[in-house]
Amino acid sequence: MTTSTLSPETRNTFESTIGGYTVSGRAHSLSAWFVLSLRLMMGCAFASSGFTKITAAEPFSAGGYLTHVAATNGNPLADVFAWMGSTPWFVEFANVAVPWGELFIGLGLLVGAMVRLAAFFGALMMLMFYFGNWDIAHGVINGDFAYMLVFLAVAAFGAGRILGVDAWIENYDIGGQTLTERFPALRYVLG
């Protein structure tokens, strides 16, 4: 159904039920611009961070961070981070996954391609940074946690459909069906 066929009362409304609890709301007409700005902001931040790590004079190395940073301030996952930092194959994996992951997540968000997939991995990275940078001196909510929620909001609101490639990909016609009608699972990575 297109938005032009919706009544003014139902436009920009959203509702979700989880565990028997239903929440609903009505978005402001400017919400699309705010969601787009969140997507572009996180895209710029991640693409820049990944590009900087990849092109740095010294190769990116996650070993020291994984081994030492998480051991401070009573981090509940300190042992997990210590294992990651002392496991050579995992350190090598992180040395590639972090900078290239940041770059590809950022680029995906910037062009609006596979936004839900990019946002999922961005949120996962921010969750790991949240625990890696654990410091609850000022409360349990910090910038890493907030950025994780921004990624989840970008995914939830289908930000790739707003001036993004995902809108075109989802509506690509294959034999009279859109791509997402033919392959419904793509809705989990596009949007």
Model confidence at 81: pLDDT above 50: yes
Task: Tell me if 109 sits within 8 A of 97, measured CB to CB.
Answer: no
Q: Is residue 3 part of a domain?
A: no
**Residue 4: per-residue pLDDT:** 47
Q: Is residue 5 part of a domain?
A: no
The number of beta carbons lying within 10 Å of the beta carbon of residue 112 is: 26
Q: Is residue 2 part of a domain?
A: no
Q: Structural domain tally of the chain?
A: 1
Range(s) of the domain holding residue 131: 31-188
User: CA–CA separation, 72 vs 74, rounded Å?
Assistant: 6
Q: Is residue 91 part of a domain?
A: yes
Pairing relationship of beta strands 177-178 and 21-26 according to DSSP bridges: unpaired
Model confidence at 1: pLDDT above 70: no
Summarised one tens digit per residue, pLDDT across range 30-62 is: 888 999 999 999 999 999 999 999 999 999 999
**Residue 115: per-residue pLDDT:** 95
Q: Is residue 58 part of a domain?
A: yes
Where is average pLDDT lowest: 3-12, 20-29, 65-74, 148-157?
3-12
Q: Is residue 44 part of a domain?
A: yes
- SS3 at position 182: helix
14 vs 39 pLDDT, higher one = 39
> Residue 175 — very low, low, confident or very high, per pLDDT cuts 50/70/90?
confident
The partner residues of 21 in beta bridges, in order of sequence, read 18
Q: Is residue 13 part of a domain?
A: no
Where is average pLDDT lowest: 68-72, 124-128, 186-190?
68-72
Summarised one tens digit per residue, pLDDT across range 149-164 is: 999 999 999 899 999 9
> For residue 188, what is the DSSP state?
G
**Residue 11: per-residue pLDDT:** 63
